[in-house]
Amino acid sequence: MTLSLVALQLLNGVEQGLLLFLVASGLTLVFGVLGVLNFAHGSFYMLGAYLAFWLAERTGSLLFAVLLGVPLMLLFGFLVERLAVARLYQRDHLSQVLLTYGLVLLFNELSRLLFGNDVHPVATPALLSGSFKLGEVQSWPAYRLFTSLSCLVIALLLRYVILGTRFGMRLRAGASNAEMLEVLGVDVRKLFARVFSAGVALAALAGMLAAPLTTVYPGMGESVLVISFVVVVIGGIGSVRGAFFGALLVGIADTFGKVLVPSVSSAVVYAVMAAVLIWRPRGLFGAPAEAR
Amino acid sequence: MPLSRRSLLGVTGAVAASSLLPRPARSASLAKIRIGLLLPYSGTYAALGHNITDAMKLAAHEHGDKLGGREIEWVAVDDESDPAKAPANVNKLVVGEKVDILTGPVHSGVAMAMMQIVREEQTLTLVTNAGAQAVTGALCAPHVFRTSFSNWQTSYPCADVMLKAGHKKVALVFWNYGFGQESMAAFKEGFLKGGGAIVKEFPVPFPSTEFQANLSELASLKPDAVFVFFAGAGAAKFVKDYAAAGLREKIPLYGSGFLTEGVLAAQGPAAEGIQTTLHYAEALPSAANKKFREAFKKATTREADVYAVAGYDTVNLLSVALGKVKGDTAARKELIAALETARIESPRGPFRFSRAHNPVQDIYLREVKGGQQRVVSVALKDAEDPAVGCALVK
């Protein structure tokens, strides 16, 4: 493998990782702050993609679809939290898994009923339909670069919100001790609802951005969910920074796994996860046991 | 639900009474013929299951909803394309419902489980889609017919097409599971025999749709052409990624017909110029195809596809064969002989059964032009599956 090909594959891996981060960040936030194991996270990714497909067809633009779709999904996430998830904070993880898995089945069937089993295309915005030449044969679609940059911007925004704002401070406090936060007079219910709907919106946004690349079809969230859990575990449960580096690691490992050991490439990501867990049992940026 | 003593007594009483009643004589001409449908009505392949079912019912309707003079009773089970549930689902139809004839499934894994049971139970079976080689190969049986295709038939003919187009060094990309592996093995058989060379194989774990790493490597290898197996959403994404990476104009893309089947609209302009081989094409100009497509559209408001064709032909074959034995499914030998020699006007063109009971049929070369699937030529006339390991062929 030449050096330029290595660089290109690295780029492929980073690009894959950045989009993965967007999905995994919401999952890790919800688990870290609310303590809820959200199996429906992949479904919110799928709903985002379907919403992008549906709105883009009506408004004629993916940009409008995202601008309309994200607030809609924020609201939707809020409703799901208030009506369903909020009832489970005192319950064990099994009840949460049952509820959120039930939501997965519900959303999958709904998408089938509304849009059928077909694979639907979402047009790439005209402005971003060009491509750059990389090497003498391959090109790099401008839209992929755009999604990567968007993910980076969102990562930086998330970092600012978590570390630099009052909401972020409460969020961190809620993650380490929600009861104490409540005693101090913070409305934890409201905080939780906001965090959950933010998580839903992040997953949906990832689905919207990915829609032109992946096309839209029922059940598309499942594989994304599994790999997002891997990212969250590698990065350390509840750590957004961990999700970022975990996602990059998974993206790069998956890419080079496909290149170097194609016949067992599906196992590479899990081998990396096992290795990280042996080295750091709580993930790359997981809080040590006594802090929880 | 708690069962009260009274209702329990009632039920047992009714059962006891019914067993005392004289059983209706099993007169072949009066009883309804029970046809089992083992097809997916949910999950990834739900659309395929519905198309096969609707086409079967359309064909039945064209025969006045009767086969061999008997009315039809359809017994459908959703197999969910889940091989793990297949034995239970097959037993439900074969042992529980005692269907006269079993049809289905879509998924090859389900088909393998089905074969084990119908070989034991000796159920007359018509496979309506699953292309696994073993169905008419190592596991073939006198009472099992396949009306669709074998994986070999969808890929082997493409080797010759590519060699004739001057492509000597070819790379393979495929979903690494049964169907993909059988498809690649068949292609390689033909391609190596014809003097071609395989530059590299890219097995992609099923159902992953991340192709960038493979595409970058493909671009650096610069093969003459690429032969792939993907289907459904994976096919849609691969074709789009391939075009977006700028490879479409530089390295021609070939595949078995499933690469574009049902996802052509989703692929859009990215599919332009792709050549595939399959035993059917929507654009076939025959009168039988036109008539079938119009009737299917009228009945379902959907466009017919290769899956619907197999369902339609299945019932038409049954109609001919059952007509010959006057609906008497007990006359097994005669019924099987009648199926073996039955000839129908299929939308795909004429075909007959091989000794292994797989269709011997023309394989078409199709090309996507202007968003439409065009028929270029017949890639292989009377393609006959080699039926490796089938005891019927000796």
pLDDT digits (tens, 9 = 90+) for B305-343: 999 999 999 999 999 999 999 999 999 999 999 999 999
CA nearest to A202, candidates A79, A62, A9, A26: A26
Q: How far is B219 from chain A (nearest CA, A)?
A: 5
The DSSP output letter for B358 is -
C-beta atoms of B216 and A8 within 8 A: yes
Give a yes or no: residue B5 inside a domain: no
pLDDT at B170 over 50: yes
C-beta atoms of A119 and B263 within 8 A: yes
Sequence-separated (6 or more) residues with CB below 8 Å from residue B248:
B242, B270, B272, B273
Enumerate the H helices of chain A as residue ranges. 3-29, 41-59, 62-83, 93-115, 142-164, 166-176, 178-183, 188-214, 221-235, 240-260, 265-279
Which of B257, B278, B299 finishes a domain? B278
Contacts of A14 in chain B (CB under 8 A): none
Contacts of B204 in chain A (CB under 8 A): 258, 265
Both B290 and B142 in one domain: the answer is: yes
Residue whose token pair is 């891997």: A230
pLDDT of residue A161: 95
Least confident of A27-41, A277-291, B15-29, B319-333: B15-29
**Residue B209 belongs to domain spanning:** 152-278
pLDDT digits (tens, 9 = 90+) for A144-185: 999 999 999 999 999 999 999 999 999 999 888 888 999 999
Both B225 and B186 in one domain: the answer is: yes
Give a yes or no: residue B376 inside a domain: no
When pLDDT is averaged across residues B89-106 and rounded to a whole number, the result is 96
CA nearest to B226, candidates B193, B268, B206, B196: B196
Q: What are phi and psi of A136, to 5 degrees?
A: -85, -20
Both B230 and B246 in one domain: the answer is: yes
Both B142 and B168 in one domain: the answer is: no
Both B274 and B295 in one domain: the answer is: no
- Alpha carbons within 13 angstroms on the beta-carbon side of residue A149 total 6
Confidence of residue B42 (pLDDT cuts 50, 70, 90): confident
Complex ipTM value: 0.87
When pLDDT is averaged across residues A20-37 and rounded to a whole number, the result is 93
Indicate the average pLDDT of chain A.
91
Confidence of residue A20 (pLDDT cuts 50, 70, 90): very high
**Pairing status of strand B275-278 against strand B253-256:** parallel
Both B157 and B272 in one domain: the answer is: yes
Q: How far is A288 from chain B (nearest CA, A)?
A: 34
A250, two tokens: 């998974």
**Residue A70 belongs to domain spanning:** 3-291
The DSSP output letter for A60 is S
Burial level of B62, CB count in 10 A (0-12/13-18/19+)? Answer: middle
Size of interface A-B (CB pairs under 8 A): 109
pLDDT at A226 over 70: yes
| Interface with chain B: mutation pick from A10, A53, A109, A139, highest number of B CBs within 10 Å | A139
Question: Is B199's Cβ below 8 Å from some Cβ in A?
Answer: no
C-beta atoms of B176 and A215 within 8 A: no
Burial level of B77, CB count in 10 A (0-12/13-18/19+)? Answer: buried
A260, two tokens: 């170097």
Hey, which residues 324-353 in chain B have their CB within 8 Å of chain A? none
pLDDT of residue A91: 85
Both B324 and B177 in one domain: the answer is: no
Give a yes or no: residue B325 inside a domain: yes
Give a yes or no: residue B4 inside a domain: no
Confidence of residue B22 (pLDDT cuts 50, 70, 90): very low
Both B157 and B220 in one domain: the answer is: yes
A200, two tokens: 């839903």
Both B107 and B217 in one domain: the answer is: no
> CA B144, CA A141: separation in Å to the nearest integer?
49
Confidence of residue B291 (pLDDT cuts 50, 70, 90): very high
pLDDT at A19 over 70: yes
User: Chain B residue with minimal CA distance to A218?
Assistant: B44
Q: What are phi and psi of B135, to 5 degrees?
A: -60, -40
Confidence of residue A252 (pLDDT cuts 50, 70, 90): very high
pLDDT at B155 over 90: yes
CB atoms within 10 A of CB A171: 22
Domain count, chain B: 2
Which of B278, B304, B329 finishes a domain? B278
Confidence of residue A52 (pLDDT cuts 50, 70, 90): very high
Both B97 and B185 in one domain: the answer is: no
Give a yes or no: residue B196 inside a domain: yes
> CA B110, CA B89: separation in Å to the nearest integer?
9
Residues in a beta bridge with B364:
B278, B378
Q: What are phi and psi of B277, to 5 degrees?
A: -120, 135
C-beta atoms of A118 and B204 within 8 A: no
Of A15, A117, A138, the CB nearest to B247: A138
pLDDT of residue B24: 47
Angle (CA) B317 B322 B323, round 5°:
100
- Contact in structure between B128 and B40 (CB atoms under 8 Å): no
Give a yes or no: residue B165 inside a domain: yes
pLDDT of residue A178: 86
Burial level of A142, CB count in 10 A (0-12/13-18/19+)? Answer: middle
pLDDT of residue A290: 44
pLDDT of residue B30: 62
pLDDT of residue A288: 61
Least confident of B39-53, B60-74, B125-139, B236-250: B39-53
pLDDT at A39 over 90: yes
Contacts of A220 in chain B (CB under 8 A): 233
Enumerate the H helices of B224-344 as residue ranges. 232-244, 264-267, 287-300, 306-324, 332-341
pLDDT digits (tens, 9 = 90+) for B234-264: 999 999 999 999 999 999 999 999 999 989 9
C-beta atoms of B222 and A2 within 8 A: no
Confidence of residue B152 (pLDDT cuts 50, 70, 90): very high
What is the end-to-end Cα distance of chain B in Å, rounded? 57
When pLDDT is averaged across residues A13-24 and rounded to a whole number, the result is 95
Domain count, chain A: 1
Report the CATH number at residue A142. Answer: 1.10.3470
Give a yes or no: residue B56 inside a domain: yes
Report the CATH number at residue B234. Answer: 3.40.50.2300
> CA A109, CA A278: separation in Å to the nearest integer?
39
- Contact in structure between A181 and A170 (CB atoms under 8 Å): yes
Which of B353, B370, B388 finishes a domain? B353
pLDDT at B11 over 80: no
CB atoms within 10 A of CB B149: 26
CB atoms within 10 A of CB A222: 17
Both B123 and B185 in one domain: the answer is: no
pLDDT at B3 over 90: no
- Contact in structure between B157 and B222 (CB atoms under 8 Å): no
> CA B388, CA B139: separation in Å to the nearest integer?
10
C-beta atoms of B240 and A254 within 8 A: no
pLDDT of residue A117: 77
Both B221 and B290 in one domain: the answer is: no
